[in-house]
């Protein structure tokens, strides 16, 4: 893999920016009293497979707690009862999706618990070819791209793509099969942007959000208790929800990352680092948004 990842990078070259509550307050606004659900986006989450229904549940729950007007979840029909009971506000649809189906959504997420078999790979390719709005790729969607080693799948897409890898997924995407030390997480996120032409969300302590022709942004919220199964699915739901509400992809990613960490911090306050779960984080999303908006109002 490229030796550029191991080059020394000076502070003047990087100049990272920190994501703070002040930034998020400039993005999120109080809602109009006459608003209806159609004003807040219609999103589709393509997630879950046998044994992995929880990924779809957590993603959908977080999207709803982050203000999405309407959430549909594309899952195998055998999982309908699980998702409809766990997230009754969401609508379940099957996997036989067409280009016309995609056009009705303001944002789409694909990948959590999806699996990496050929059927899933074909579905991902179809979404990348046919969808033209904001598309969030996480988990198995990224593993499919890495497995095929064909980043043109992303580059040729007409959608505004956001990728959300953790460090292991990022290394697989970069073709770093064997461990290579990375001196700068910001630099790795920027390399992912160059490779995929997507907004890159490199998850972990101090999550990095990078985009073409922009400085990298480093998150300032979160705690070790968030290192738990499903936490990434929650973040994917949040990013998709904000994008579906009309926030530009780079801003949607940064806003979601901050609030996701803030929800994690609030979960930690309530349950502690050892006992908090991803569903706790998903539910705390609503309270994190409330806290930010209340501070915004108080400052006025």
Asked whether the predicted pLDDT for residue 298 surpasses 90, the reply is: no
Strand partners, 71: 43
Confidence class for position 181, pLDDT limits 50, 70, 90:
low
Q: Is residue 133 part of a domain?
A: yes
Residue 2 within a domain: no
Nearest to 230 by CA among 76, 53, 88, 106: 53
Percentage, residues of the chain above pLDDT 70: 91
Instruction: Flag whether 4 is in a domain.
Output: no
Collapsing DSSP to helix, strand or coil, 163 comes out as strand
- Calpha distance 237→245 (Å, rounded): 12
Residue with the bigger pLDDT between 182 and 48: it is 48
Give pLDDT, residue 299. 54
In a domain, 137, yes or no: yes
Closest by CA to 232, choosing from 209, 201, 187, is: 201
Give the per-residue pLDDT at 297: 56
Contacts of 76 (CB under 8 A, 6+ apart): 48, 49, 50, 94, 95
Identify the band that residue 11 occupies on the pLDDT scale cut at 50, 70 and 90.
very low
pLDDT value of position 7: 37
Q: How many domains does the chain have?
A: 1
Q: What pTM, to 2 d.p., does this model score? A: 0.93
Cα–Cα distance for residue pair 254/269, rounded to 1 Å = 23
Could you tell me if residue 131 is inside a domain?
Answer: yes
Range of the domain at 13: 9-299
pLDDT tens track for 148-178:
887 888 888 999 999 999 999 999 998 865 5
Q: Report yes or no on 1 lying in a domain.
A: no
Dist. CA 45–CA 241, nearest whole Å: 10
pLDDT at 1 over 80: no
The C-alpha atoms of residue 149 and residue 147 are separated, in whole angstroms, by 5
CATH value at residue 75: 3.40.1190.20
């Amino acid at each position: 893999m490229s030796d550029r990842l191991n080059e020394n990078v000076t502070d003047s070259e990087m100049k990272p920016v920190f994501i703070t509550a002040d930034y998020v307050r400039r993005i999120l606004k109080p809602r109009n009293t006459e608003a209806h659900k159609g004003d807040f986006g219609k999103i589709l989450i393509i997630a879950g497979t046998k044994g992995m229904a929880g990924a779809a549940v957590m993603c959908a729950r977080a999207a709803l707690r982050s203000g999405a007007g309407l959430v549909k979840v594309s899952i195998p029909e055998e999982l309908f009862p699980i998702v409809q009971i766990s997230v009754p506000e969401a609508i379940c649809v099957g996997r036989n999706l067409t280009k016309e189906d995609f056009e009705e959504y303001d944002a789409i997420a694909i990948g959590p618990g999806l699996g990496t078999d050929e059927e899933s790979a074909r579905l991902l390719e179809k979404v990348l070819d046919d969808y033209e709005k904001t598309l969030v790729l996480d988990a198995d969607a990224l593993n499919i791209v890495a497995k095929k080693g064909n980043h043109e799948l992303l580059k040729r897409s007409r959608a505004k793509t956001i990728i959300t890898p953790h460090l292991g997924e990022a290394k697989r995407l970069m073709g770093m099969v064997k461990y290579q030390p990375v001196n700068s997480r910001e630099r790795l996120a920027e390399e992912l942007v160059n490779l995929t032409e997507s907004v890159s969300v490199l998850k972990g302590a101090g999550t990095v959000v990078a985009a073409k022709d922009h400085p990298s942004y480093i998150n300032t919220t979160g705690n070790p208790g968030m290192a738990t199964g499903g936490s990434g699915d929650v973040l994917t739901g949040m990013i998709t929800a904000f994008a579906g509400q009309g926030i530009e992809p780079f801003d949607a990613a940064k806003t979601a990352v901050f609030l996701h960490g803030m929800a994690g911090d609030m979960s930690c306050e309530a349950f502690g680092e050892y006992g908090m779960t991803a569903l706790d984080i998903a539910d705390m999303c609503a309270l994190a948004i409330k806290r930010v908006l209340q501070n915004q109002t108080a400052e006025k």
